[in-house]
Amino acid sequence: MSLEKQESGAKLPAGIAVCGGAESELASRVHSQPPHAYRTPFARDTARVLHARAFRRLAGKTQVFTRLPAEGLSDHFRSRLTHTLEVTQISRTVAAALGLNAELAEALALSHDIGHPPFGHAGEKALDRALRTHDLSFDHNLHALRIVTWFEERYPGFRGLNLTLAVREGIVKHSRDYSFADHPELAEYFLDEFPPLEAQLIDLADEIAYLTADLDDGLDSGILALDQAREASPLFRQLHDVALARYPKAAGKLVVYETLRRVLNAFVSDMIGEVHARVNAIGATTLTEVRRAPQRLAALSTPMEGERLAIKKFLYASLYNSPGQEHEHERAEEVVAQLFAILMADPGLMPEDHQAQIPTEGLARTVADYIAGMTDRYIVQLWERCGGR
Ligand code: MG
CATH number at residue 279: 1.10.3210.10
Q: What stretch of H or E contains 127?
A: helix 120-132
Residue 11 lies in a domain: no
CA of 87 to the centre of ligand 1 (A): 7
CA-based radius of gyration for the chain: 22
CA of 81 to the centre of ligand 1 (A): 9
CA of 312 to the centre of ligand 1 (A): 14
CA of 49 to the centre of ligand 1 (A): 15
How confident is residue 135, by pLDDT bands cut at 50, 70 and 90?
very high
pLDDT at residue number 71: 47
With beta carbons less than 8 A apart as the criterion, state whether 201 and 297 touch. no
CA of 67 to the centre of ligand 1 (A): 18
Residue 2 has pLDDT above 70, yes or no: no
Residue 159 lies in a domain: yes
Region 351-359: mean pLDDT is 95
Residue 219 lies in a domain: yes
Total structural domains within the chain: 1
- Determine the straight-line distance between the first and last CA of the chain, rounded to whole angstroms: 55
Residue 5 lies in a domain: no
Q: What is the mean pLDDT of the chain?
A: 92
CA of 83 to the centre of ligand 1 (A): 7
CA of 205 to the centre of ligand 1 (A): 9
97-126: pLDDT as tens digits: 999 999 999 999 999 999 999 998 899 999
CA of 153 to the centre of ligand 1 (A): 24
CA of 345 to the centre of ligand 1 (A): 33
52-93: pLDDT as tens digits: 999 999 999 987 654 444 445 566 778 899 999 999 999 999
The domain containing residue 205 runs over which residues?
A: 25-386
Residue 12 lies in a domain: no
CA of 38 to the centre of ligand 1 (A): 30
Distance between CA atoms of residues 283 and 286, nearest Å: 9
pTM value is 0.93
Region 350-366: mean pLDDT is 96
CA of 279 to the centre of ligand 1 (A): 25
Higher pLDDT, 328 or 170: 170
DSSP code per residue over 198-247 = HHHHHHHHHHHHHHHHHHHHHHHHTSS-HHHHHHH-HHHHHHHHHHHHH-
CA of 384 to the centre of ligand 1 (A): 29
Residue 183 has pLDDT above 60, yes or no: yes
Region 257-284: mean pLDDT is 97
Q: Which residue(s) pair with 62 in the sheet? A: 79
Residue 10 lies in a domain: no
Which is nearest to 31 in space by CA: 161, 139, 144, 129? Answer: 161
Residue 2 lies in a domain: no
Residue 19 lies in a domain: no
Burial of 309 from C-beta contacts in 10 A (0-12 / 13-18 / 19+): exposed
